[in-house]
């Protein structure tokens, strides 16, 4: 594990803004709240880049599972020779787990919240973070659609609240969508921008409107694919194949919805629908039904496809296999 006096940031790293370099040098301890898919991916990337990572979740079992997942994902990199076994062990040694939030953040320079996409939960977490963190700590959220300005307004440091939206799988996807809250300080935005570059990512700064850019564009695409399925225009396989082979998307929109989580897609559509007050963002009834019935996609074992642990085969869920199926 890094000593707290050790500086993880290499000064010579290219592309870092001079003005924020000294601030970046002081950034050593990063606390990640939540150890699910996004939380463990974010912890992975920070630990691999030399930061001391405090990973916090309410259950130790979830944290243990996350550390095991990070180890397995680093093994992929080792097998591809993009990471040495020694660097993997060093990176894993930088991750310390916590179930107590105050303890996890008491020395944090940056906190990244990656909890469930629920506004009430995020507000509660940010109120607690604001009380427990040192004054200098930057509070970032990995929210995929909730207003940064609103989250920041529940703290006494709205200038230090920012969106740092990573994409799944975090170690693979290059983008960090940085979201400026209305009150976010420009120096904080610049710091997070340079930090993202330091992590080897490509940052893009956007302003705080519902769904930002990524999900304002991606979610209506996914929702439209679900509407087309709901109307019986085509089956699951056809819709995904058309988008994969016709538009060179790595995954079809229905497979991507399963991958993201149908519950997350539904909650983002609701944020867009309420935020813009425009009927064009209304979530598809089929999406609402699937979520209400507990079909969340890959994480629950069934969505538009069925998922068997250990198998990479893509099998259309039996209820969607009948080509004449209509809602």
| Active-site residue, 165 included | yes
| Active-site residue, 318 included | no
Nearest to ligand CAA of 173, 202 (CB atom): 173
The yes or no reply on residue 173 touching ligand CAA (CB under 6 A) is: yes
Say how far apart CA 229 and CA 235 lie, in whole Å.
6
Contact pattern for ligand CAA over residues 57 through 96, marking x by CB under 6 A: ----------------x--x---x----------------
Which range binds ligand CAA by CB under 6 A, 94-102, 122-130, 164-172, 303-311? 164-172
3-state secondary structure 153-212: HCCCCHHHEEEEEECCCCCCCCEEEEEECCCCCHHHHHHHHHHHHHCCCEEEEEECCCCC
Which range binds ligand CAA by CB under 6 A, 95-103, 189-197, 248-256, 302-310? 248-256
Question: Catalytic residue among 49, 113, 147, 165, which?
Answer: 165
Tally the C-alpha atoms within 13 A of residue 287's C-alpha that lie toward its C-beta: 27
Say how far apart CA 31 and CA 115 lie, in whole Å.
12
Count of residues interacting with ligand CAA (CB under 6 A): 16
The yes or no reply on residue 174 touching ligand CAA (CB under 6 A) is: no
Say how far apart CA 173 and CA 204 lie, in whole Å.
13
Question: Catalytic residue among 113, 117, 177, 302, which?
Answer: 177
Question: In the set 256, 269, 272, 317, which binds ligand CAA (CB under 6 A)?
Answer: 256
The yes or no reply on residue 250 touching ligand CAA (CB under 6 A) is: yes
CA distances 106 to 111, 130, 134, 137, 197, Å, are 10, 11, 7, 9, 26
The yes or no reply on residue 47 touching ligand CAA (CB under 6 A) is: no
Question: Catalytic residue among 49, 147, 215, 267, which?
Answer: 215
The alpha carbon of residue 68 and the mean position of all alpha carbons in its chain are separated, in whole angstroms, by 19
Question: In the set 168, 190, 270, 300, which binds ligand CAA (CB under 6 A)?
Answer: 168
Residue nearest ligand CAA, Cβ-based: 144
- Write the burial class of residue 276 (CB in 10 Å: 0-12 exposed, 13-18 middle, 19+ buried): middle
The alpha carbon of residue 278 and the mean position of all alpha carbons in its chain are separated, in whole angstroms, by 26
Nearest to ligand CAA of 171, 235 (CB atom): 171
3-state secondary structure of 33: strand
The yes or no reply on residue 169 touching ligand CAA (CB under 6 A) is: yes
116 in the Ramachandran plot: left (φ > 0), alpha (ψ -120 to 50) or beta?
beta
Contact pattern for ligand CAA over residues 263 through 302, marking x by CB under 6 A: ----------------------------------------
Tally the C-alpha atoms within 13 A of residue 257's C-alpha that lie toward its C-beta: 36
Say how far apart CA 88 and CA 204 lie, in whole Å.
28
The yes or no reply on residue 326 touching ligand CAA (CB under 6 A) is: no
The yes or no reply on residue 178 touching ligand CAA (CB under 6 A) is: no
The yes or no reply on residue 223 touching ligand CAA (CB under 6 A) is: no
The yes or no reply on residue 144 touching ligand CAA (CB under 6 A) is: yes
Question: In the set 171, 181, 210, 253, which binds ligand CAA (CB under 6 A)?
Answer: 171
CB 160 within 8 A of CB 185: yes
- For residue 146, what are the contacts with CB-CB under 8 A and spacing of at least 6? 117, 119, 122, 271
Nearest to ligand CAA of 11, 173 (CB atom): 173
Contacts with ligand CAA, residue ranges (CB under 6 A) = 73, 76, 80, 144, 167-169, 171-173, 214-215, 250-251, 256, 260
User: Looking at the annotation, which residues are catalytic?
Assistant: 144, 165, 177, 215
């Amino acid at each position: 594990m890094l000593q707290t006096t050790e500086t993880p940031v290499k000064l010579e790293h290219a592309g870092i803004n001079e003005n924020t370099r000294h601030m970046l040098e002081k950034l050593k301890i990063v606390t990640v709240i939540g150890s699910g898919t996004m939380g463990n991916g974010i912890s992975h990337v920070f630990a691999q880049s030399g930061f001391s990572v405090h990973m916090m979740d309410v259950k130790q079992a979830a944290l243990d599972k996350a550390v095991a997942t990070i180890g397995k994902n680093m093994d992929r990199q080792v097998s591809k020779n993009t990471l040495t076994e020694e660097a993997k062990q060093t990176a894993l040694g930088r991750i310390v787990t916590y179930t107590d939030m105050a303890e996890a953040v008491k020395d944090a320079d940056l906190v990244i919240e990656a909890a469930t996409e629920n506004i009430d939960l995020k507000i509660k977490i940010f109120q607690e973070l604001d009380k427990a963190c040192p004054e200098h700590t930057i509070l970032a959220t990995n929210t995929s659609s909730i207003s940064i300005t609103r989250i920041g307004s529940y703290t006494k440091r709205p200038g230090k609240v920012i969106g740092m939206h990573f994409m799944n799988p975090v170690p693979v996807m290059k983008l960090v969508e940085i979201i400026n809250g209305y009150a976010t300080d420009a120096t904080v935005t610049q710091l997070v921008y340079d930090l993202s570059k330091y992590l080897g990512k490509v940052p893009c700064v956007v302003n705080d409107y519902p769904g930002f850019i990524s999900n304002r564009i991606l979610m209506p695409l996914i929702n439209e694919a679900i509407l087309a399925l709901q109307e019986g225009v085509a089956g699951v396989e056809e819709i995904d194949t058309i988008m994969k082979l016709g538009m060179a998307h790595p995954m079809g929109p229905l497979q991507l919805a399963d991958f993201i989580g149908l519950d997350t897609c539904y909650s983002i559509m609701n944020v867009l629908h309420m935020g813009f007050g425009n009927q064009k963002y209304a979530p598809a009834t089929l999406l609402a039904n699937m979520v209400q019935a507990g079909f969340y996609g890959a994480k629950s074992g069934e969505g538009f496809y069925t998922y068997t642990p250990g198998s990479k085969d893509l099998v259309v869920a039996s209820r969607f296999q009948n080509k004449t199926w209509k809602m």
